[in-house]
Structure 1
Amino acid sequence: MSYTHQEVDYLRSHRPEISDVTAELALTRSSLVADTEVLRRHFGEYARAVTELVTARRSTIGKLPSDWLMCSESAQQSTPPTVAAVRARRIADHLGAGARVHDVTCSIGSELPQLTAVGLAVTGSDLDPVRVRMARVNTGSAVAVADALVPPLSPGAVDAVVADPARRAGGRRITRPDQLLPPLPELIAAHAGTPAAVKCAPGLDFSGWDGLVSVASVDGGVKEACLYSPQLGGGERREAVMISTKVGTGPRLDRITDLSGDGGGESLAGPPGRYIVDPDGAVVRSGLVRHYALREKLWMLDDRIAHLTGDRIPEGRTGFPFIEQVPLKKLKTVLRKHGCGALEILVRGVDIDPDKLRRNLKLAGDRPMSVVVTRIGSAGVALVCGPRADGVDRS
């Protein structure tokens, strides 16, 4: 739920007081009645807005600055700074420092600081005047109220645009670029001739895009896909960007790229090696499993399924020490033989519900294990493994 202009002004001018009063409030479902009464005593008619702000901030700890103005919806839609930084660096590398970039769906401004940090001249706009107001407070950038399909700047006034069309409609996830809000073809047409970087959900059909499709993940979780115009793609067609933040030296980036976009080649399938490796979601969603396997000297269990195997776990990743391959109908007996008590289950290529499978297995041992349920050829199989293990980090 968003705010009125008056609520935004109040939240801005009472930031220290809001922080002091809400610091000790849990704002959980069980404490909500008591916490709401505290907020009403302190903030009166603005208690709802304060509750919304604090809830949104707590949901984005480590993602957005803790003193930003935001609502729950805008916080949920915002791009993680590490992902926005990768996009900003690509734009700066291709256009040069000082290039003019306009974020045409800037919302509360989450993309603007990263673009500014790499030396780009940044402006923003959004159709929602309340979010524009928050973006101005949050970033200090020039932000206007405007429709992304009606550019507020004259042709040639910017060198690139960044956009984040709505990815849901009627409560459902949009699966086609031409159904985004605004639709991708209309968005590109409105900014014809200007290089674009368009953020999208990673599950969209990108087969008709003639530039770069870049899928980004953070600590294994896929965050978004970004469609870059050919001017920003550098000749690449597909890219997986894997960002690791759980290292002491700051975020670490690992990229896999493909110039052709088709990932073709000879079969890489073979029998299980010492480890089973489940590739990062960015690698899978970008269609670069084969490229990743070749780089890491791994091979595939089946050319159509994204599980990999080999004699080592890639550096900085995790995998499963392989024990034996069994038919699905024998899995329960085999796990009992091994004394399995706690089980991590991965499923790909087979129509099985992991939670239902775990219940049916009725585990009673004390040994932690893993099982990869997958398809090899025409048969569904279970790869019984030890617990998840880390790859060696030699950095």
Structure 2
Amino acid sequence: MDAGDLAFLTSSAGQRAAHDAAARSLSDRTLLADVAALRRAHGEGARAAVELVRARRRAVGKLDDPETWLLDSESLQQATPSAVAMHRADRLAGLSVHDVTCSVGAELRALLARCPAVLGSDLDPIRAAIAGRNCPGALVFRADALAPSSTAEVVIADPARRAGGRRIVDPEQMLPPLSALLDAYRGRSLAVKTAPGIDYERLYRNGCGDVDFGGEVELVSLDGGVREACLWAGPIAACGLRRATVLGGNGFEITSAEPDDVPVAPAGRFLIEPDGAVIRAGLVRHYGFRHGLWQLDPRIAYLSGDSVPAGVRGFAVLDELKYSEKALRAALRARGAGTVEILTRGAAIDPDVLRRRLKLDGGEAYSVVIARIGRGVTAWVCRPTRAERLYA
């Protein structure tokens, strides 16, 4: 979205165009005809109206009240989901907060509901102007994230973490780099949003990394998908703590301060794969201790137990065998398997290739979990607990 698009969409003519665009399908099948009709009625501004309406439709489920947002596809992709932003705002309730990379304001709108003073800034003047429109009540202006421009108690930053279409995993390759943000806001509370797959080893100079971080790492998932890692530094951080926050459904938090003394033992009645945030945060053992589970192998994220924690997907174990294609095929055919979900951990097996090679033709559906246990590979034929009933 450029300055001309912004000026048009915020005018009465642009609002009429957006209203008319919203009344059309704008599907892949009708898009050309819809755009042509809108151009006849609204001129070249129709393109911006169509982009706005399509972005709002894609925002359903990600942003609250999507029809109220001024945004485009690119800014929507970069926006923090409302549920994740509100979780962070809850932690910052009562504090003054400055989002120094505010983009179109997804974080700001959540903060306004919890914080007495909310500021936003962005190096891109168009994004800053859009954020001001989206977040009345926040003070929004253009500024460089590395040039402190407020005395807010907490600073939030969301560095760019893609280059050439690929995710950046080194915190020093982000824009701006993590070390530059830490230096710019030394002594202040700082929350830096990063990709879940960031190379955590590079956060500490006493390891192999380049950054003197020493703060708190929080992994956040929403409705089963890991959305971000947040690096907390300064007075607000619990230094050295790792935290997994699971939002949606049966949400919970778990931290590295909790006990992690769990045994390693053969599979029980069920296999359980913890939420991805728990795995990414390195808290599988802590999660196991909380729920009375045990590990199958110290290097594998799967746990086992005689019950499944509430709201968690588990697998009822039917068969356990030393893995080979021949043995697995025989076990599945004996049970009349036709479709099979294959999950692997620590084993160099492509589930799609294996599924085709099994050549199953039965009518039953099963899950197969394959994992490296010790020096060998084990396979379990299972039924997921979400089935209507468990089969023995």
TM over 0.5: yes
The alignment's C-alpha RMSD in Å is 2.0
CA distance in 1, matches of 2:303, 2:60: 34
Contact 1:319 1:390 in 2 (8 A): no
Q: State yes or no: 1:337 paired with 2:334.
A: yes
Letter in 2 for 1:161: V
Contact 1:90 1:232 in 2 (8 A): no
CA, structure 1 residues 25+323, in 2 after alignment: closer, same or farther (shift >3 Å)?
same
Q: Percent sequence identity over matched residues?
A: 47
Contact 2:22 2:53 in 1 (8 A): no
Contact 1:345 1:370 in 2 (8 A): yes
Aligned runs of 1:352-391 on 2, under 5 Å?
352-389=349-386
Contact 1:273 1:311 in 2 (8 A): yes
Letter in 2 for 1:376: I
1:16 Cα offset (Å): 5.0
- Residue number among 102, 111, 127 corresponding to 1:106 in the alignment: 102
3-state SS of 2:156 partner:
strand
Q: Report what 1:144 is aligned to.
A: 141
- Residue number among 252, 260, 280 corresponding to 1:285 in the alignment: 280
Aligned runs of 1:288-303 on 2, under 5 Å?
288-303=283-298
3-state SS of 1:111 partner:
helix
Deviations 1:308-362 (A, max 9, x none): 1111110111111111112132111111111112222212211222222211122
Aligned runs of 1:82-231 on 2, under 5 Å?
82-92=83-93, 97=94, 99-140=95-136, 141-153=138-150, 157-207=151-201, 208=204, 209-231=213-235
Question: Quick check: 380-389 or 140-149, which moved more?
Answer: 380-389
1:151 Cα offset (Å): 2.1
Q: Report what 1:254 is aligned to.
A: 252
Q: Which runs of 5+ in 2 are unaligned?
A: 205-212
Letter in 2 for 1:210: G
CA, structure 1 residues 44+388, in 2 after alignment: closer, same or farther (shift >3 Å)?
farther
TM score, norm. by length of structure 2: 0.90
CA, structure 1 residues 328+19, in 2 after alignment: closer, same or farther (shift >3 Å)?
farther
Deviations 1:52-86 (A, max 9, x none): 21221111102223220011111011111111112
1:185 Cα offset (Å): 0.3
3-state SS of 2:146 partner:
coil
Contact 1:313 1:390 in 2 (8 A): no
Letter in 2 for 1:109: G
3-state SS of 2:60 partner:
coil
CA distance in 2, matches of 1:18, 1:253: 41
Deviations 1:17-60 (A, max 9, x none): 34542334333333322222122223311122122212211111
CA distance in 2, matches of 1:363, 1:23: 47
CA distance in 2, matches of 1:120, 1:364: 63
Q: How many residues align?
A: 372
3-state SS of 2:10 partner:
helix
CA distance in 2, matches of 1:77, 1:126: 14
CA, structure 1 residues 230+146, in 2 after alignment: closer, same or farther (shift >3 Å)?
closer
3-state SS of 2:106 partner:
coil
CA distance in 2, matches of 1:55, 1:269: 51
CA, structure 1 residues 23+122, in 2 after alignment: closer, same or farther (shift >3 Å)?
same
3-state SS of 2:231 partner:
strand
TM score, norm. by length of structure 1: 0.89
Contact 1:368 1:387 in 2 (8 A): no
User: Structure 1 residue runs of 4+, over 6 Å off?
Assistant: none
- Residue number among 292, 311, 325 corresponding to 1:316 in the alignment: 311
CA distance in 2, matches of 1:388, 1:358: 21
Contact 1:241 1:282 in 2 (8 A): yes
CA distance in 2, matches of 1:349, 1:316: 26
1:267 Cα offset (Å): 6.1
Contact 2:262 2:294 in 1 (8 A): no
Contact 1:210 1:230 in 2 (8 A): no
CA, structure 1 residues 236+254, in 2 after alignment: closer, same or farther (shift >3 Å)?
farther
CA, structure 1 residues 108+388, in 2 after alignment: closer, same or farther (shift >3 Å)?
same
Q: Which runs of 5+ in 1 are unaligned?
A: 246-251
CA, structure 1 residues 312+300, in 2 after alignment: closer, same or farther (shift >3 Å)?
same
Letter in 2 for 1:199: K
Q: Report what 1:307 is aligned to.
A: 302
- Residue number among 215, 233, 237 corresponding to 1:233 in the alignment: 237
Contact 1:268 1:303 in 2 (8 A): no
Contact 2:219 2:281 in 1 (8 A): yes
1:204 Cα offset (Å): 0.8
1:191 Cα offset (Å): 1.6
CA distance in 2, matches of 1:290, 1:355: 30
Q: Which has the higher contact order (CA 8 A, sep 6+)?
A: 1
Q: State yes or no: 1:60 paired with 2:59.
A: yes
- Residue number among 344, 349, 357 corresponding to 1:347 in the alignment: 344
